[in-house]
Amino acid sequence: MDNEDYLKNKQVVWEFAVSLSIMPEALQVEFLKIFVNKLPDDMKERHFDRFANFVYPEFRWKKTEQWMEKRFISDMSRTPREVASMFLMYSKINTKMAPKIITLAQKTKDRLRKRIELGINLKKNKSNLSMIQEEQCER
């Protein structure tokens, strides 16, 4: 597809999106059902992640990561799935978001573990930090 075709298609998509946004909610939901059912499974997952990023702004994900980080600092033995479940219950988010939240918890715990290995201060009281570092040394 050359640049001219791309620009024409982009204009058509933009006009369609504007038209869809002013339709009644029931028709919007019907469109989404049809659209999602026609997608291959691998594309559904990719679009879900993209859609989640559109709906939940970046600062919201940062606040979620900070919340999870506090839970991991207080107890590094917690699993990412456990912290994600705690977050889903705490924030009353639909459980369909669980895969995205679990992935976020895994990344958060991994980043925290790497910071501990590098000896970066975690802004937590020293006794808890030293306890975490001792656990890491034992491994």
Q: What is the pLDDT of residues 50-104, one digit of tens each?
A: 777 777 766 677 888 999 999 999 989 999 999 999 999 988 888 888 888 999 9
Please state the domain count of the chain: 1
Distances (CA, A) of 122 to 63, 67, 86, 132: 16, 13, 21, 10
Q: 2-12, pLDDT tens digit by residue?
A: 788 888 888 88
Does residue 47 lie in a domain region? no
Please report whether residue 64 resides in a domain: yes
Report yes or no on 85 lying in a domain: yes
The dihedral through the CA atoms of 38, 44, 49, 55 has a sign that is positive
Q: Is residue 70 part of a domain?
A: yes
4 domain-assigned: no
Domain that holds residue 74: 57-138
With vertex at residue 113, the alpha carbon angle to CA 130 and CA 88, rounded to the nearest 5 degrees, is 110
